[in-house]
Amino acid sequence: MNNIDIKNNFINQLKEKYKIIVGIVLSILLLVIIIQVYFFYKNKKILDTSVLYNETKSDFKNNEFIALLDEISKEKNFYGVLAKIDKINLKLSNNELDSAYQDYITLLNQSNLTNLYKSTISIQASYNFLRLLSEESNMNKLSEFKTKINKLLSFVDPSIDSFIGFNLEILYLLSILEQDFSNSLSVSNESQDLYQQIQEGDRISAFIKERVKKINDFQKYK
């Protein structure tokens, strides 16, 4: 093979390597562009949803309020979750308790929610049903509400310290309501056990401990 052939062969190899390198670089650039476009539209979608959600909340009496909430609740982002909770709160205010409860369960079973979100929503939902149980019209539904609240609390992540106190407080208050509905004058063993867990828990806030202590003292001396 003469020098010219060697030179041509070398040049051809360089051209092939150049094509491969250019192809790789173009592929990387295309991938980067696609990712940037995706996140641009995703962030824009979140921004648009945020604007729509805040506009809807600021005009609560708008006739299209429910329809707008329905639209926002379909979004797979934070504002979609907020819209779902607003829809549930509307049902609770209209005494559509079973439907509201089922919506809570559906929301809590969403795979895209983190344990932190699920724990927060389940605690909020449990307090809502606890509040409704204390109303005279629901006093005959203790067993039903107790089942619902225990199911909601099952979504609380026990590894998140900040929710332990709220969880125990809800169970304590539920046991107190159960006593009150039965017209019992003494504090039940269940209530006392929960009270001790709260007061002795080193991962429970002083605020919750003090609040529960006042209720416990009232129950003992009422």
For residue 67, what pLDDT is reported? 62
Rounded mean pLDDT, 18-45: 44
Q: pLDDT value at position 47?
A: 46
Band of pLDDT at residue 5, cut at 50, 70 and 90 = low
Whole-number mean pLDDT of the chain?
75
Q: Is the pLDDT of residue 122 over 50?
A: yes
Out of 42-51, 122-131, 165-174, least confident range: 42-51
Which residues are within 8 A (CB) of 167 and not within 5 positions of it... i.e. 6 or more apart? 123, 153, 156, 158
What's the predicted TM-score (pTM) here? 0.69
- 17 burial type by CB count under 10 A (0-12 exposed, 13-18 middle, 19+ buried): exposed
